[in-house]
Every structure is written in C-alpha cells, then in structure tokens.
Amino acid sequence: MDPIPLVHASLGERELAAVAEVFASGWPAGQGPKGKALEDQLARRYGAGGAVAVSNCGAALHLALLALGVRPGDEVIVADYTFPAPAHAVRYLDAVPVFADVRPGTGTVDPESVADLLGPRTVGVIAVDTVGLPADYAQLRPIVDRHGLFLVEDAACAVGATYQGREAGALAEVACLSFHGRKGATSGEGGALLSTDPAIAADARLRSSFGIGSIFDSSKVVGLPIPEFTEIGYNFKLSDIAAAILTVQVDRIDELLARRNAVAARYAELLADEELLTLPEVPDDRTHAWQTYAVTLDASVDRAAVAADLRGQGIGCGHGTWASHLQPVFEAKQECPVSADLFRRHLAIPMHAELRPDQVERVAERLRAAVRAHVRPQRT
C-alpha cells in the first residue's frame, strides 16, 4: 500500500508560475518586488502596521526581541510545550528563558503559570499557538498590561486559526509566522514578523538585512547611492523566489485549511470511542489550524512501540512537540509537569491538505489496532 507521510506540502502549478515570473524578472534575491508584494499582502490580511518577510520564524522571533529592547540578563517567560525556538531567541540575546507550564487539554501556555513566574527581571512573555491552536490571550493580556510587559505571539503553527473571531498572527502587538514545509502556507522555509507598530517592523526590516536598506531599492535610484550600515544586523532576508511562492500560498490559506479541517473532523469521527487515546481539544472560542493532529495516548500505552508499528506499515507519525525545559541546552532548573506529561504521551499522526479519505480511514484503523496491541502489562 502507498505510504502515508506525516506531512506534505500543497504546492502546484500556480506556485510554479509565480516562480517563473521571478526568473524572468532577473531579481531572485531578497527585498525585491515579490518580497514587497508579500509584505503588503500580509499587512492587509492581518491588519498590521508593518510586515517583514524573513528567512524563518526563528529569525522573526530574534528580530522581535531585538526590536523590543531585550538585554542580557533580562527574563522572558516562554511557553514550555513547543518547538524551542522562543527559548533559543531569548538565549541569542544572552537573556534568560523562563518556562511556563501549559494547560493539559490544549497544550497552550497556562496564564496562571505565567503570573506565578513574574519577577523583577521579567520584561515580556512569548505565548505560543501550540501546534496550531491559539493561546488564551484574553487572560494573558491583563497580566502583561498590569506589569508593563511586552507580549509576542509565536503563531508559527497557526496560520488560518482564530481566537475570539480574530486571526492568529493578529493577537499581540508583535507576532511571528512560519512558512516551513509543514505549515498551512509554505515556501519550504520562510517566516514573517508582524507588528501593530510600524517602528518595530522598520527596526526588524533594517536588522534583517545587515543593518542597511534594500539593495533593490537603491539600484533604482539615479546616481550612485551608497548604503550606510547603521546597525549590527543579520542576513535574515527571504528570497523573492520564496516570496513569490508565498503570495500564492497566502491566497490559498482558507482553501487548504478547509481540507485540513475535513481531515480533523473525520479523525474525530473514526477515533471518538477509542478509550486508549484522547483527541485534541479545541475550545469554543477558537479554531485550530491543524498544523499537527496530536492524540494523547493513555499512560498504559507504549508510544515507541505504537510509532514503530505505524511506521513499519508506511504511516508517518511523530512525538508531537517538545517540553522545552527538559532539553539539555537550557539547563533549566524548574519543572513543568503538564508539559512533560504531554511530551511523553502525545503522538502526531498524518495531517495535511493532500490526505485522501481512504488514507485517513487507514490511519485511524491502524492506529486503533496499534494502541490496543501495545498496552503495557499491569504491574502487580
């Protein structure tokens, strides 16, 4: 039987045609016409004061913290249960990531945990829309406002999701998106910083290009303008090739998300009565982007054996995401028990817009059989 991959990008003829336009233009590098078009498109979609297209979401997080003035020794509270890019971004600036535990049902950061971690060196909070589900911003906002902290939305996984009727990516003064190959809109790699404040976007744009303005813009000026390096910056630009792909993909977000929603709904039907796993929770006030469909296995189930079983049958699966505080690089001394438990028990099964109904049924059937076959014996 044909393999069923965990992820698959929905790229086709429209994206190829957009790339061909870039080839014909003679400007494949960053900050050219396609990059500008993408930034305008994102700013309109998210109602942002500015949008900056960059090489990946990790770069966007790094630029966001620079623009917000994070300094060595500052503490930034970060959601623990996530790919640890937020904590990496904090460490890039020699600041200290402080890991906040998450809610057991949603895996999103627990506002009570955030409040408990506030200290004299706390300067901000990075909330994460965990594997595509927005965090509890209505509860986080009063906490950060009361203490004069910044709030960054890591919406890497959540393109197309909503919270109380607002789109993920527009839920904080600064938001960061990812366009990695498994996301709802993709160019293989890529990211964006969105900000309600045009000054923050301008700061990020300058630093994303070694601290100088657009070479494409300066090449159009009559004479010989010579850019000056006014900041220590980075090479975080997104190529116009990738930007061209994304102008098509962003237009397709709703279409591709509808297909992911259909897959999620079918999984819910097929697995609803399986007592050895729990389905993803989506509160009534938000919608899911379904970057990942992660079930929570009963504690009695041997997850590694289930994964080996599924992969042996050509069905992709993964562990979900990370309990960041457990990663050796951070040497964290704190505990996040809910995050650690989800890290042990989550199992991601195939989720993308190209899944066929028969493949979804096959995944559910084989998953059900695998979890039943790999229950650990009870100790006596």
Q: Is 183 an active-site residue?
A: yes
Is residue 331 within 8 A of residue 349, CB to CB? The reply is: no
Strands 122-128 and 150-154: parallel
Distance in angstroms (rounded) separating the CA atoms of residues 47 and 67: 20
Distances 269 to 169, 344, 348 between C-alpha atoms, Å? 30, 25, 17
- Give the start-end residues of each E strand in the chain: 50-54, 75-79, 96-100, 122-128, 150-154, 162-163, 166-167, 174-178, 191-195, 277-278, 286-287, 293-297, 346-349
The DSSP result for 198-243, as a single string, is: HHHHHHHHHHTBTTS--HHHHHTSSS-------S---B-BPBHHHH
Catalytic residue among 183, 220, 237, 333: 183
Distance in angstroms (rounded) separating the CA atoms of residues 360 and 380: 38
Q: What are residue 193's DSSP bridge partners? A: 52, 176
Distance in angstroms (rounded) separating the CA atoms of residues 348 and 27: 39
The DSSP result for 333-355, as a single string, is: -S--HHHHHHHHHEEEE---TT-
Closest by Cα among 51, 114, 127, 117 to 86:
127
Q: What are residue 97's DSSP bridge partners? A: 76
Distance in angstroms (rounded) separating the CA atoms of residues 154 and 133: 11
Residues acting as catalytic residues: 183
